[in-house]
Chain A
Amino acid sequence: MKFLIDRLAFRNALQRVEMGIDRKPTNPVYGGILIEATNNSLQLMTNDLDMAVRYRVDFVQVDQPGWAVIPGRELVDIIKDVESDTVTLTLNDKGGVELQAGEDVCDLVTFESSAGRGAEERSESFPLVPALEGDPDVAMDKGDFLVMVNSTRFATSRVQDTRFATEGVLFELADGQATMVGTDGRRLACIHRPTTGGKGGKSRAVLLPKVLDQIYRFGQDEEGDTISIWFLGNLVGFRLGNLESFGRVLTGEYPNYGNVIPAAGKHVVRAHRESFTKKLRLASHLTQDSAAVVRLALSSNNMEVASEHEGRGRASANFEVEYSGDGLKMAFNPAFLLEGLKSAHSEQIELQIDDASRPAKFLLGDDFSYVVMPLSSLV
């Protein structure tokens, strides 16, 4: 294998597959990048068994086809630091790789390579993933998908729950509509968007957030307006332009989210997102780090956001809202509200409340609901 590639194109490609490199590999090959050079294109692949990324780079001068699994982290770091415009990578007969960038030369080992074998022979130790062929199960607007990820990812649990797979994001398909849900058990974000193609039918998978983070990070730069998705048993595959990402499906049970989204609240408040955010941020400066609380008090066309930090002081901020019901008081974790408001799609938001002890529903855009469990007073 021998090829010459533009350094920036190579660096960008490596950035896209970098998240699939296992940082603490049980088998060295999981910490490697499989590079396959074929007719004027290069395919890079990583797989840490939780997620796999495959990326194709065109316009590469391939002098000799072949493949090699190269130590991933080292290759990424080297390509970040070399200064030449192009890079040449050559696989020698002994199974080593020479990387030449201008005057600089680095020799890297390979975990497995086509040296001494045919270029068409496949790797035996690198965990390959299926090709994304045929009609996808679903196709949808790329922008819609990225909005769905951004609207739900923040609400997922950061720790593993013993009961539910809430560290993942639920992705559901039914009746030409895609639904994405993220929850950590105390708040829940749910968003629906239409699909534009694919086989249709019903499908459901709890996705590892890591793969969604990767798609969100690089998806915008990929060519094309459509994302195609394949459900492959214990994997879900996504294709955007030249980028193919695969995520492991979490096997745990996902909570029945439909039960906790209130249908419609007795009390309806309409507020300006920016004003609400500013008042919340102000009040949150005077909350305890370990137990942050803000109290919302609703009266006719007014919302008071109040907080208190024992030993530091208290804050009270008022702003105008659309509300005509009775006086109502609730308490929330300010971080939950601020994170939701940050992801809102519309400037005007709606808050629906049944009573102070029941979950409150925020409508933060078209088909985007955010449910937050209020805090109950102990005294």
Chain B
Amino acid sequence: MRHAESACSVLHVDLDAFFVSVERVLNPRLCGRPVVVGGAAATRGVVAAASYEARQYGIHSAMPMAQAMRLCPHLIRVPGQHKMYARASKAVFDLLGGYTPVLEKVSVDEAYLDLRGTEHLFGRAVDAAERMRREVKERLRLDLTVGVSRNRLVSKVASGFAKPHGLFDVRPGQEPRFFAPLPVKVLPGIGPVTQKKLRDFHIDDLGTLATTESWFLQEVFGRYGPIMKRRARGEDATPVCPAWGKPVRKSIGQERTFAEDTHDAVVLRGRLQAMLEETCARLRREGWLARTMSLKVRYADFTTETRDVRLPHPSDHDLEWWQAACALLEKALRRRTLIRLLGVRFSGLQRGFWQGGLFEEERIAQRSRLTVLDRMREKYGAQAVCAGDRLWLYKSP
């Protein structure tokens, strides 16, 4: 773990329209045309990534596919190939790892790098960044945008500013000047609610925020107020933490949008069971135990509710979570509105060991059975053995 200092050494790298770019490498005929990656409109898919050509039509990620098609009738949709994207991402980060071991991957297409100490090998950080962009383009045919500054925050904003396929270098001491004219929403952590509050006080740009009195911000936003002011001046002491420097995973989960909004308890229970089985299998495969489960429900009117439940002991066993999950679903069903999306997420993850009980022969036996079930599913597919509630999902029409 290294703390950013005065030198310009922290890079934020971002792969432009990553999924689309990979698709274009695989199929060059997609180049120069409006392309999106995502599920089909018929199955209520959403846009996972949009090319810059598509974005000109107002299409953005997380937009329902049907709406995207309406905005651009000649839009080309390709289904996602996530294994391929993971391979491409690994290739890019392996290449960037050759520049510095202090590389913190934040998503499949985004990372922070700390280049301190590499000046003798690659020269100034901005030159190294230019070389990275060239190398990624030549070797992998992918566009990389890089923000260079002396801390993570400014580099992140700089890369957003430089998009697409650009490079932006903020020299030390220039951070306040770079930030001043930018709207407050570019600052990570300022969402719509904070934005609205700031707007109410006529604070629209980072320059104004940086010169607002701390006591005032403290009064309005609490502890986060003065922090927000420091960040608006481009101050950030968060170090770049490579994977070996910190436990990375905080939660594991999945969510599904239904083909049709539903209030059918049987379908919802079946879907919930399927998600629990799959997510718990993933917990077991990766060696995690979870303390908390959250059930996310998005209703047809797009209101979203999340409810949490904790077990007395951490668990990776779907049967142990099942009753608690059903109780949460029952509560969600009390609102007599159709449900559009259901999601399950496990957090409070801990790794490595499982505490059995002295008087829990049944629980220990269940665990052995689970190991056998996992092996069967691995060999014959996830649906080879499943709980009864889930069968409703596969019933013939």
Q: In the assembled complex, how far is the CB of residue B3 from the closest CB belonging to chain A, in whole angstroms?
A: 16
In the bound complex, CA of A371 to CA of B359 (Å): 12
B98 within 8 Å of A by Cβ? no
Say yes or no for B245: interface residue by CB 8 A criterion.
yes
- Interface residues, chain B, CB within 8 Å of chain A? 245-247, 284, 287-289, 291, 312, 314, 316, 348, 350-360
Q: Do the beta carbons of B356 and A187 come within 8 Å of each other?
A: no
A291 lies within 8 A of B356 (CB): no
Query: Could you list some 26 contacts between A and B, CB below 8 A?
Result: A164-B359, A185-B358, A185-B359, A255-B358, A255-B359, A288-B350, A290-B314, A291-B314, A293-B352, A310-B247, A310-B351, A311-B246, A357-B356, A359-B358, A373-B358, A374-B356, A375-B355, A375-B356, A376-B353, A377-B353, A378-B284, A378-B287, A378-B288, A378-B352, A378-B354, A379-B287
Residue A329 is within 8 A (CB to CB) of chain B in the complex: no
Choose among A186, A291, A359 the residue that contacts B353 (Cβ–Cβ < 8 A). A291
Task: Give the distance in Å from the alpha carbon of A333 to the alpha carbon of B357 in the complex.
Answer: 12
**Complex contact A186–B351 (CB within 8 A):** no
Residues of A within 8 A of B316 (CB): 378
**A188 in the interface (beta carbon within 8 A):** yes
When C-beta atoms are compared, the residue in chain B nearest to A333 turns out to be B355
User: For chain A residues 140-173, which have a beta carbon within 8 Å of chain B?
Assistant: 159, 163-164
Judge if A101 is at the interface, Cβ distance under 8 Å: no
- Name B285's closest neighbour in chain A (CB-CB): A379
| Proximity bits, A345-379, B CB within 8 Å = 1, else 0 | 00000000000010100000000000101111111
A188 contacts B289, C-beta separation under 8 Å:
no
Cα A332 to Cα B353 in complex, Å, equals 9
Could you say which residues of chain A place their CB within 8 Å of the CB of B247?
A: 310-311
A260: Cβ under 8 A from any B Cβ? yes
| A290 contacts B357, C-beta separation under 8 Å | no
In the bound complex, residues from chain A placing their C-beta under 8 Å from that of B246 are 310-311
Which residues of chain B are near A375, meaning CB under 8 Å? Answer: 353-356
Interfacial chain A residues near B245, Cβ < 8 Å: 311
Are the C-beta atoms of A371 and B352 separated by less than 8 Å?
no
The answer to whether A284 has its CB under 8 Å from any CB of chain B is: no
Report the bound CA distance from A164 to B359 in whole Å.
Answer: 10
Contacting pair A185 B284 (CB below 8 A):
no
Q: Which residues of chain A come closer than 8 Å to B289, judged between CB atoms?
A: 291, 378
**Is A331 in contact with chain B by the CB < 8 A criterion?**
yes
Known contacts A291-B289, A311-B246, A311-B247; is A185 also within 8 Å of B360 by CB? Answer: yes
Minimum CB–CB distance for A146 against chain B, Å: 26
Query: Are the CB atoms of B350 and A291 closer together than 8 Å?
Result: yes
Q: How far is the CB of B46 from chain A (nearest CB, A)?
A: 34
Closest to A162 in B: B312
Complex contacts, B352 vs chain A, CB 8 Å: 291, 293, 377-379
**Residue of chain A at shortest CB distance from B1:** A311
Other than A376-B356, A377-B354, give 4 A-B pairs with Cβ distance below 8 A.
A291-B351, A375-B355, A378-B352, A379-B352
Chain B: minimal CB distance from A335 (Å): 11
B355 neighbours in A (Cβ, 8 Å): 186, 333, 373, 375
Contact for B312 among A159, A256, A376, CB less than 8 A: A159
Determine the chain A residues whose CB is within 8 A of the CB of B353 once the complex forms: 291, 293, 331, 375-378
Determine the distance from Cα of A331 to Cα of B357 in the docked complex, in whole angstroms.
Answer: 14
CA distance A311 to B357 in the complex (A): 29
The closest CB in chain A to the CB of B348 belongs to A290
Say whether A38 faces chain B, with CB atoms less than 8 Å apart: no
**Are A186 and B291 closer than 8 Å at their CB atoms?**
no
Residues of A within 8 A of B350 (CB): 288, 290-291
Complex Cα distance, B390 from A112, in Å, reads 64
When C-beta atoms are compared, the residue in chain B nearest to A289 turns out to be B350
Chain B residue nearest in CB terms to A161: B312
Partner of B358, one of A163, A187, A333, A379: A187
B358 A371 Cβ-Cβ under 8 A: yes
How far in angstroms is the closest Cβ of chain A from B148?
A: 27
Closest 10 CB pairs between A and B? A379-B287, A291-B350, A375-B353, A378-B287, A260-B358, A310-B247, A255-B359, A185-B357, A311-B246, A376-B354
Query: Among the listed A163, A290, A371, which residue makes an inter-chain contact with B291, where contact means beta carbons less than 8 Å apart?
Result: A290
A195 within 8 A of B: no
